[in-house]
Structure 1
Amino acid sequence: METKRGRALAVAGAMMLGLTAFGANAQAQTVYNIAGLADFTGPFADIMKDMTGCRNAVLDWWSEEVGKGQGVALKAKDYDTRYDVAQVASLWPGIRSELNPIAAFGVGGSDANALQQRLPNDKLPLVVATAGYGFNWKSDNWVFNARPTYPHEAAAFYTWMQKKSGSTEPIKLGLISSEVSPAYVDIHNGVEKFAKDNPDVLTVVETVYTEAQPTDLTQQVNRLLRNGATVFQVFNNTASVVAVQRALQSLGKSDVPIVMSAHNGLLSSGRALNDLSQMNGNYEVYGMALPAEQSTTVREFFDKLTNEYKLKANFNSSCFMGLSQALIVARAFESAVEKKGAEGVTGEDVRNALLSTPIPTEKTFGVLPNIQYTNEAPFPTKGLGVNIGTVENGEYKLVEQNVPVPTLNRW
């Protein structure tokens, strides 16, 4: 009996020592918070699980495989803003008070628009998952985008498309937009400005304004076709792509392509239509990696997150946006810790690292090209290029890589 009791005490003591060691190890990593702005109930709810899942998995990976060696860890808490400017502004003071974050993840234009005037006083950088915006195109910014503006990406596509056609006639564009978001307004303003400055490349037939999530655009699409539109741009959301595609199908014009972006791309829109083949002949364009299935460093990293860090997300452009913003913040924080040490890192330190330390493509596993921020703009301004994808015979494929981005005037 005494022997058994002694063994039990020994086991209990070993367990206590293990817990104490675990506690000491956990305390050895200083945890820093990131505010994760998200949209679980608004126009981008359909892609949010993939985006937030991938960005949170990056933080788990970084904290274990990089941060542990530096004595730090990164943790994000997500808040549902419904992609609404007023909701972001309303929640922000409470988020700051609760988390005391060193950075924030943004979904898109609603976050940038709501916070761009507050962030300099808060000394917190916001890294947005999407392309940039003209209303935020200024120096000394605290909002950062991984990619150039949407009009930059669109302009690259139309320049490529015209060259591919072998014609000198300008592309005739039916522009589907909405006034429900400052980001949507900014996109069509920028594309209209590019068309005005480059009439030999692009003509905007008409800009059609829709509600946030349209269901039937047959009448509007028919009018644009009658007026000569040869391509449709839908950079709003997945619901808008589906409505335009169904309108083209009902009008017997499935051969007229739609171009879309990363947040409402081919795979997401094809999933919404329950059949990727319905997206045959359409395009997506953006300045980050495309989710091609062939073996790539991006795929290897995604598989690592899935197998080792419990990531549950689809391998698509929505996930890539989450990967990109999380990797940017993590790498900037990593540089800040290298300079300052594990204790007392601030949002201003992270911003300074973003502006002073290049992020080579190897550091993002090929999700992004080489990234270098300056005070000139909230997005990289040099070496800009985009990738273009399409669907052929029901299969998603990469069409072109590193298509040069033309110079755009501000709008």
Structure 2
Amino acid sequence: MIYGKRLGLRSLVAASAIAVAAAMPMQAQAETEYNLALLSDFSGPYADIMPVLAASRETVFAWWNSTIGKELDVKLNYKNYETRYDAAQVASLWPGIKSELNPIAIAGLGGPDVAALSERLPEDKIPMFMATAAYGYAWQPDAWIFNPRPTYSHESAGFLAWMREQRGGDEPLKVAILASEASPAYVDMAKGLELYAEEHPDELDLVEIIYTEVQPTDLTAQMRRVARAGAEALIIQTNTSIVVAAKRGLQANGADIPIMMSSHNGLPASGGALGGLEQLEGDYEAYGMAIAAEEDTPPRQFYQTLVDEYGLEAPWNVVTAMGISQGLYTVTVIEHAIEENGAEGLTGEMVREALFAKPITTEQTHGFLPTLTFTPEAPFPLEGLKVNVGTVKDGKITIEATGVDVPDVKKW
């Protein structure tokens, strides 16, 4: 055979293989896959908002996989774990979660996750990214649990400083706080603002801190005391059940005291629990992320992309914004880790180091969060802290203020 004489058998086989390969379509490079553990509460105090929060952050992961992840040949898998918002349940589940998934990151939900895992994660070298504000008891250097927002006390102090400025005058603002001893996070929310009020008596007059059950049935007597004390604002950063009981108590006493809520128990969730958003006319929500109002903003536009192109089934509200912001914040840190280390062999420790390597810009989170610069000194950014304020006007959520400066809240 003339062809064989020219090339020899080995060359003939090689030439044939090349010809076959040339005739076949190109094979796509295999994606590198990593796992994320999602801590959730579908049966506890946040069962009313969890489906929306979960859908929002999961849709962000789907968007990232099909866009940025596709370009990087990386796919993020995820799995939800029911914790009932209970620290003991989180601690019990964690060894199995770690063994099953070997995750490079965790998307946490709230205070019980922090309480249960703050000492475990440095040993396991897996970072946890939250959607919520931070906690004073976790305000330590070299953390493995990170919040894109400062503490709840930072956020409430920023709101109250703004409210006092809007009111005018030199007198301190009279404030009451509603919390619960059922969760370390709920206690922490009150303690930080309590210390701030003690150190700034010319700005805040804390008339009462009320500790109640997680799901109180009646707060009429407590709200009577708050009204008689002349409170100008009521801070409730706990859950929707406490907001509902407090609002009913205020209404029973004919008291018109504005309530400030956080994101997880904000205007749409608490309004829905009360029977309608109009029940919270003149009340507020304040936090360090975008307000989910109807204005045509970059966050609103990105939300619509997730609805139109990725099948997100969630209303445009603060809970959805919180889930989207958590998802964007998490994938951006992972993206930075890939840029630093390559797509293969990524570890939780590499993800954590990437958090400190460069800022997470507001453009990367589509305006849901301000530009975040983390350092090992704290589990949240320490500089440039701001909050946004939303309210209900004529039965609709509107943006009341953006970029409100947060005062210097000391560690407690």
User: Is 1:323 aligned with 2:342?
Assistant: no
Moved more, 144-153 or 222-231: 222-231
Structure 2 Cα separation of the partners of residues 43 and 203 of structure 1: 30
Aligned to 2:70: 68
Task: Choose the corresponding residue for 2:149, options 136, 147, 150.
Answer: 147
Q: How far apart, in 2, do the equivalents of 1:288 and 1:88 lie?
A: 27
User: Which amino acid in the other structure matches residue 298 of structure 1?
Assistant: P
* Contact 1:361–1:369 (CA under 8 A) maintained in structure 2: yes
Contact 2:146 2:379 in 1 (8 A): yes
SS class of match (2:333) = helix
Task: Give a deviation string over 1:65-84, Cα, whole Å, max 9, x none.
Answer: 00111110112100110110
Alignment of 1:38 onto 2:7: no
Distance, in Å, in 2 between the alignment partners of 1:368 and 1:243 is: 31
Superposed displacement of residue 113, structure 1: 1.1
Report the residue type matching 1:275 in the other structure.
Answer: G
1:92 and 2:98 are equivalent in the alignment: no
Residues 44 and 237 in structure 1, CA contact (< 8 A), matched pair in contact too = yes
What is the TM-score of this pair, normalised by structure 2?
0.92
Cα deviation for residue 379 of structure 1 reads 0.5
Deviations 1:200-253 (A, max 9, x none): 111111111111111211111112222222211111101111111111111111
Look up the match of 2:399: 398
What is residue 281 of structure 1 aligned with on the other side? 282
1:295 corresponds in structure 2 to: 296
Give the secondary structure class of the aligned counterpart of 1:361. coil
Q: Is the 8 A contact 2:110 2:132 kept in 1?
A: yes
Which deviates further from its counterpart, 136-145 or 213-222?
Answer: 213-222
Q: 1:169 maps to which residue?
A: 171
SS of corresponding position for 1:388: strand
- In structure 1, the residue matched to 2:105 is 103
- Letter in structure 2 aligned against 1:380: P
Could you tell me how far 1:339 is from its partner in structure 2?
2.0
Q: Please, which of 231, 243, 246 is the counterpart of residue 245 of structure 2?
A: 243
Is 1:57 matched with 2:59? yes
Q: After superposition, what is the alpha-carbon deviation per residue over 1:169-214, rounded to whole angstroms, capped at 9, x for unaligned?
A: 1111121110000000111000100100110111111111111111
Q: Which runs of 5+ in 2 are unaligned?
A: 1-23
For residues 77 and 299 of structure 2, the distance between their equivalents in structure 1, rounded to whole angstroms, comes to: 22
SS at match of 1:55: helix
Contact 2:57 2:327 in 1 (8 A): yes
Q: Is the 8 A contact 2:227 2:257 kept in 1?
A: no
CA distance in 2, matches of 1:260, 1:133: 16
Aligned match of 2:83 in 63, 81, 84?
81
How big is each residue's C-alpha offset from its partner over 1:295-339, in whole Å with a ceiling of 9 and x where there is no partner?
111111111111111111121111112112211111111111122
State the AA in 2 paired with 1:378. Answer: P
Amino acid paired to 1:172:
K
Give 1:201-216 correspondences, 5 Å limit: 201-216=203-218
Q: Secondary structure at the match of 2:153?
A: helix
Between 210-219 and 178-187, the greater mean CA deviation after superposition? 210-219
For 1:75 and 1:246, how far apart are their aligned partners in 2?
43
Q: Distance in 2 between matches of 1:322 and 1:63?
A: 17
Deviation at 1:163, TM superposition (A): 1.0
Assess if the C-alpha contact under 8 Å between 1:112 and 1:128 holds in 2: no
Aligned AA for 1:303?
Q
Aligned partner of residue 188 in structure 1, secondary structure: helix
121, 124, 129: which one aligns with 2:123: 121
CA distance in structure 2 between the partners assigned to 1:230 and 1:405 by the alignment = 20
Corresponding residue to 2:231 among 229, 246, 263: 229
CA contact (8 A) 1:157 1:285 kept: yes
